Amino acid sequence: MPKTNTYAILAAAVLAAQAGWAQEVRVYNWSDYIDEDLLTKFEEETGFDLIYDVFDSNEVLETKLLAGGSGYDVVVPSATFLQRQIAAGAFQPLDKSQLSNIGNLWDVVSARTETYDPGGEYSINYMWGTTGLGVNIGEVTARLGEDAPINSLSLVFDPANMEKLADCGVHFLDAPTEMVPAALQYLGEDPDAKDDESLAKAEAVLSAVRPYVQKYHSSEYISALANGDICVAFGWSGDILQSRDRAAEADNGIEIAYNAPVEGALMWFDQMAIPVDAPNPEGAHAFLNFILDAQNMADASNYVYYANGNIASQELLVEDVIGDPAIYPDAATLETLYTTTPFDARSQRSLTRMWTRVKSGT
């Protein structure tokens, strides 16, 4: 076959693939993190075919992004990872002329995410929350008494408490950027410290309770807590509130509570952004604008029980969401919340090695 024909066929194949991509929007989001009815609604309203995949750790997402050619149009990194990925050139600036609903963003949240994405040039906030303590009240009080410190980091970082809880099951997030700041906060140290001495202090805390941690995972604790398979999870607020509600709906006699630690909790933000090599930027903007709609954002929050960065959605939130201080903290609690910044390449390597030691118990 002549080369010209071969090239023509290849060119036609590329054009056909690009035409297919133009009709699809590929989204990569956290697991259990949206009302799936919204996915159908997006397709019906826009005519795009939505390909929706999930992950359960920032590290998995970052590996795909920094390798290039992820194939996704919209991804949802946490803000600290977003900042580092912006610096690495992983995202394209938003075309705000395509985001007619961007005025719905809440200035309180936007002011805090300014640290990670100045001016909101690359991202919009999807959800935000705190990292804290999920507790099966009955099981924990049976082991630690009625005065069990269910709102304190000592519940999970004091080995004496953890030894008593080990038989009913404790899960920690498989997320060193969440667990290390919490350990430092417990010690009264700067939770955003990244020097070797601070990491060593955090490692000592985490290693001391390692024998009593059943699993490090960033999503399994949702069902495990709701089903009574574990009695404590150190995890994300919305996940634990999902556990609480699943247990209530099952009427299984399990009472789950979530508390942001009194010592202070990490305030995190999950941001929607468009990869620099997104196959369908137009479709990506259509998806972001769809999410920015007040009703759509309210539907998402009402389903996952997370707070969002959309002020216009608040009047559409169910009372169980907007009226729950575990989701929308009061002003006093907001004052105790801290944020963190990204690890640079060197400190990230130290963190990764340390976390491997902690998890393996070596």
Residue 193: CB atoms within 10 A of its CB come to 17
Question: Which DSSP letter does residue 274 get?
Answer: -
Question: Which DSSP letter does residue 158 get?
Answer: -
- What are the pLDDT digits (tens) for 206-236? 999 999 999 999 999 999 999 999 999 999 9
Cβ neighbors of 323 (< 8 A, separation 6 or more) are: none
Mean pLDDT of 69-94: 95
The pLDDT score that the predictor gives to residue 69 is 87
The pLDDT score that the predictor gives to residue 335 is 83
Percent of the chain with pLDDT over 70: 94
The pLDDT score that the predictor gives to residue 22 is 62
Mean pLDDT of 108-115: 93
The pLDDT score that the predictor gives to residue 17 is 44
Comparing CA positions, the residue from 157, 165, 244, 240 lying closest to residue 201 is: 157
CA 352 to chain centre: 19
Cβ neighbors of 210 (< 8 A, separation 6 or more) are: 358, 359, 361
The pLDDT score that the predictor gives to residue 362 is 82
What does the buried/exposed string (b/e) look like for 252-289 if buried means 16 or more CB atoms within 10 Å of the residue's CB? eebebbbbbbebbbbbbbbbbbbbbbbbbbebbbbbbb
Residue 14: CB atoms within 10 A of its CB come to 10
Mean pLDDT of 187-212: 98
The pLDDT score that the predictor gives to residue 90 is 96
Amino acid identity, position 176: P
What is the model's pTM?
A: 0.81
The pLDDT score that the predictor gives to residue 48 is 98
- What are the pLDDT digits (tens) for 288-333? 999 999 999 999 999 998 999 999 999 999 999 999 998 999 888 8
Distance CA 297, CA 111 (A): 19
> Residue 13: is its pLDDT beyond 90?
no
Question: Which DSSP letter does residue 275 get?
Answer: B
Comparing CA positions, the residue from 37, 11, 46 lying closest to residue 280 is: 46
Q: What confidence category does residue 146 fall into, taking pLDDT thresholds of 50, 70 and 90?
A: very high
